[in-house]
Structure formats: structure tokens, C-alpha cells
Chain A
Amino acid sequence: MAEAPLVDVQDVSVRFRRRRSGLGGLFGPPPSFRAVAGATLTVARREVVGLVGESGSGKTTLGRTILRLVEPSEGAILFQGEPITHLRERALRRIWGRMALVFQDPLSSLNPRHSIGAALAAPLALSGTPKSEQQDRVAAALQRVRLPREAAERFPHELSGGQLQRAALARALMRDPVFIVADEAVSKLDVSVRSQILNLFKDIQQELETSFLFITHDLHVARFLCDRVAVMFFGRIVEVAPAAELFRTPRHPYTRALLATLDEAGERAGQRSAVDQEAPGCIYRAQCPRRIGRCDEAHPPTLMTAPGHALACHNPG
């Protein structure tokens, strides 16, 4: 890879503090929960990276950490080569001009008291764009996501789910970001609308050459949209590979289990049981059909098994 990656996530962990409870809570270190454990991931310019896993696997937390809405407890995050791991909000505001987030629920991401036009114009007003130009740019933004011009005067509760997600995408694009995190951006939409919105994402990505981190539990979506796919399980990235390769020759047992559910309605791979995060050993060993002795000793290191194919497994298939 000649070019430096746009987003470089190096061995990032995120700990959430748990509420202390009971008498035991009074003593010892505050209990914590690792939502993300040692995640390493890059997103190149113009690249669409998928982040797949079950709900609760930490994909949303990782996405928010890359945007620095969450501060990582360990590791480093570089954006366009600049470390942003521990920047404060004031400094982040400059970075956020080049990043954007598309939420799972577009209705909640738009202020119910603002019209779509006002929501789209807000970042323009901040940068001192004159009123007349604001209107033109709002109209252009709406056109880009194929919403009619009059949508600018509507309020969020007046739009349908698909229209809302278009409006939310339009707003995310207002400041010409180079990197967008889309967090389950289509999972709440009807199947019929979903494909339209997915096509829209694809068109816009090709038109604007924006990089995406596409968080989804839907492998169909990942296969349709992504150049590379990272698979997460209980806070750990277990496999990263080019999309075609991952779907053709998955190597991690969990990826295989996940792919096996592709043709079924189910979204889950295997039974979920409580995983002891602090115990040594592979995070997936309790469910793993390929478990060997070493799996109980330590979580496997992430190794490059082929160009662009990273894997964390002692006994890959």
C-alpha cells in the first residue's frame, strides 16, 4: 500500500465503566467492560470498509470511537496521518468538518423542531455562507440524494423512513466529508426502500469518492457495498479481508458460522453465551468447532495470512 491510510485505527480498546453495585462495589478498582478490545483497522481513500458482527459486538462503539465521539482507553487513532486519539472537543470540531455520521434511525438524528432545509443549512451558516448561496447549496444537496426541492420546507415527522435517510445523508454530505461512518444506515428501512438507499450510497460513493465505514449486521449489505469487510465478535476484530475473498474463502470459524446464516433469515451465528472477557484464551472458543488446546491459553494474535487478509485464529480453516 503506497498511500497512507485515511483512517488508521491502531490496537484500540474502549472500556466502559460499570455502575458499582453492592458492598463489593465499594472496594477494588471500578468494574469495567471492554466494548472494543485491541481493534486494528484501516480505511484507505475512496475505500468502503464493512464492519459486520452481531448486535453487541462493539461495531457501533468502534465506529463512534473512530469519530471520537467516544474516547479510547488504549491504542491510537490517526485521521489523515494526524493523531486524534485524545483531542478535546474544540480541536475535534476542526476534524469533524471532514468526517460525518449517518445514524441508524434518521428520525432521531434530525431535530424535530427544525425543517430539513434549516438542518442542512446549519453547517453553512456556521462557516458564514451568505443566505442566497445557502439556499442553492441546500437545493443541490437535496437533488444529490434525489429528494424534491420542497423537502427543504418539511419537518422530519412529515417524511417517510426512506426520505428521512436521504435527508440525513444529504446533511452528512453538507461539509464535503472525506470519510463517513454509516451505522446500520439501512437496517431500519423496509426491504423495498433499502435497496434504493443502498444504491444511493453506492452512487454517491462513486460520485464523490468518499471513504465509508459501513457498519451492518446484514452480510448482504456488506457484500453489495464494501471493498473490504471486517468481522467483529465480542469487541474483537477476528478477520479482515477483501469482500470477495472473505465471502469466497472465509477462514475464521466465526466468519464461517456467520456466512452460513446468509441464506437463512437468522442474523445470529451460534448460541450466544456469556463470554468472560478477562479470562485468557480465544474469545470465541466456547462456541468454536475447531477449538484446540492453544485456544484456552491466549487470544490468537492477528496475523496477515495473505495480502490484505488479517486473521486472528490459532486453527483457521
Chain B
Amino acid sequence: MSAAAAIPRSARRRGPLGVLARNRVAQCGAFILVSTLLLIAGIVLFSPYDPNDKDYMAILQPPSLEHPFGTDSFGQDVLTRVAHGARISLLVSVGGLVLGGLAGTVLGMTAGYRGGWLDAVITRIVELLYSFPTYVLALCLMLLLGYGASSVALAIGLVYVPNFARLARSMTAQAKAENYVTAARLMGQSAPRILAREILPNIAAPLLVQFSAGLGFGIIMEAGLSFVGLGVQPPTPSLGVMMADGKDYFQNGPWVLTLTGLSVAWIILGLNLLGDGLRDALDPRLRDR
């Protein structure tokens, strides 16, 4: 009565990385993102210009071989500034989503697992946050926190807390009823350990999708706040700052606003394709459970 002479190993890999291998849309987004990031890194490292080098002999030059995106009203190279700006915008967006993702996930998982009055309290607070129009909420925060890149990151984070919290809560409440959670309880594991070890690995994929889908919106938020002058402040190049600057002399140098805006659109296209692809690919599995 040998139970198993050999147990076959299954070759399937699951999770976001495995999905990337199968989903065309996600591949497309990942390709855009990776190539753009490489390009940004290349420009930041090897560009002959400094983002704040002012060349008053070359003000508002249209795109040329020397300045592929032209120059702005200070004679600064727009492509170099776009690359530096994109770096800052991405950092702010990633930072904000990491903050919001962590806080939202912890809140949501706690509410979903504990239930009862704690769930009610957290859910009400989250719904209150959720009911604010995102930009109004972000603008209020900027006024409270003061301007600057870290404040923008905090604002993006806070705006994203409800999204992660709601997602984490519903999935945790669902996972809590699973037998493997009951088994872990009977094995003596404490609630924080069960949340981290048993439940989180099983709900991580949709949270990651939410994260990648949120990055694009984070960049738009950063650009929007900086555009109206409440975000990253002018000497620092950010995509929003540059667009705000470019609108002032759109008549004389339309390329500054246009090409910066198109760069934003391109990065967001990549992020959204990746996010959508991941979500589509993970959906059937979610329905299976």
C-alpha cells in the first residue's frame, strides 16, 4: 500500500508573473513601460544638458536634432526636463501608492478579519473618504500639508486608501471562511500571523493589479496638482510643473506643452495596459474561487 511512488510536479506557474507570460495586453504595457523607463534612465544619465541649465541664446527653439523636444522659455532642453520630470512624477506616484496600498490593505484586512464593530468603524471611515471627489480631497490635503513632492505622495496615498481597503476587506472576509484559515486557527496561529501568512498570499494578486492600475492615476494627480501650482514646486522639474509652464507660452512654443503632455499620455498608456491586462488575466481565477 504505497501511497505514492512518485508525485508528478505541475509545471504551471500562477500569479502575476505567470500571467504576464500569457496575456498580450499586459505584455504590451510592460514593453512600453520598460522601454520608456530605460529611455528615461538613459536621458537622465547621458543627456548633454542639465535640466536646469539655462541657455538664453536658445530660447523656445522648435524640436531639432540638438533638442528633440525643443527648448522652453529659459532655453532648457525639454526632453531632458521631461525625463527628469517623469522620474519625479513616477517616484511621487509609486511612493503615494505604496503608502496608500499599505495603509489600505492593513485597514481592510483588519476590518474583514475581525468583523463586528471594528469592521463597522473602519468601513464608515473608508466610505467617508471614498465619498469625497478625489481631486477635492487631494486639494484640501495639499492646503493642509503644504506644497512639495512628499505632500503630493501623501495626498495620492490617502486618496488610494479606500480603494485598497475595500478590496482587501471583501477578499479577506471571503478568505476567512475558507477551511485553511480554520485549520490555521486550530494550529494555534494568531490573527496577525494568519492575516500575513495565510490570507495575504492568496489575495495579493488583485491588490497588485490595483497597484499597477493606480500608478497611472497617481501620475495624473501629480501632474494635475502641480499644474495648478499646489504640487511640486517650479525649480524641480515635474511633468505637471512643465505643462503649467508650457501653457503660458503655448502660442510661441506649442511643443513644450504638447510633447510633455504626450509623454504623460504615453507612460499612462503603458501603465493602464499593464493594469488592465493583469486584471483581465486574473479575473477568471477570481471567479473560480
Contact = CB atoms under 8 A, between A and B. Distances in A.
Interface stretch (A36-44, A104-112, A235-243, A274-282): A104-112
Given A148-B3, A162-B3, A166-B3, A126 B189 contact: yes
A208 interface: no
Q: Tell me which of B3, B5, B189, B191 has the highest count of chain A C-beta atoms within 10 A of its own C-beta.
A: B3
Contacts of B198: 111, 114
Interface in A90-117: 93, 96-97, 99-101, 103, 105, 108-114
Nearest to A67: B186
A51 interface: no
The 5 closest A-B pairs by CB, nearest first: A113-B201, A109-B179, A108-B179, A111-B180, A123-B187
A113 B186 contact: no
B3 A122 contact: no
Interface stretch (A3-11, A153-161, A210-218, A286-294): A153-161
A174 B189 CA distance: 14
6 contacts: A69-B186, A93-B188, A101-B182, A109-B180, A110-B183, A163-B4
B182 A110 contact: no
A113 B202 contact: yes
A196 B1 contact: yes
Nearest to A168: B183
Q: Tell me which of B2, B4, B190, B197 has the highest count of chain A C-beta atoms within 10 A of its own C-beta.
A: B4
B4 A103 contact: no
A309 B6 CA distance: 47
B7 A148 contact: yes
Given A109-B180, A146-B1, A155-B10, 19 more contacts: A96-B185, A96-B186, A97-B188, A101-B183, A101-B186, A103-B179, A108-B178, A108-B179, A112-B180, A122-B187, A123-B189, A126-B189, A126-B193, A146-B2, A148-B7, A151-B7, A158-B7, A158-B9, A199-B1
Given A111-B198, A122-B187, A158-B10, A163 B3 contact: yes
A67 B179 CA distance: 14
B116 interface: no
A95 to B, nearest CB: 10
Interface residues of A, number: 41
A175 interface: yes
Q: Tell me which of B9, B185, B188 has the highest count of chain A C-beta atoms within 10 A of its own C-beta.
A: B188
Interface residues of B, number: 28
A146 B189 CA distance: 26
A150 B7 contact: yes
Contacts of B3: 145-148, 162-163, 166, 196
Nearest to A105: B179
A59 interface: no
A251 interface: no
Contacts of B5: 148
A171 interface: yes
Contacts of B185: 69, 89, 96
A154 B7 CA distance: 8
Interface string B192-203: 010001100110
B98 to A, nearest CB: 22
A110 B187 CA distance: 12
Contacts of A114: 198, 201
A112 B179 CA distance: 11
Contacts of B193: 126
Interface in B195-242: 197-198, 201-202
A103 B185 CA distance: 14
A166 B2 CA distance: 12
Contacts of A67: 186
B252 to A, nearest CB: 59
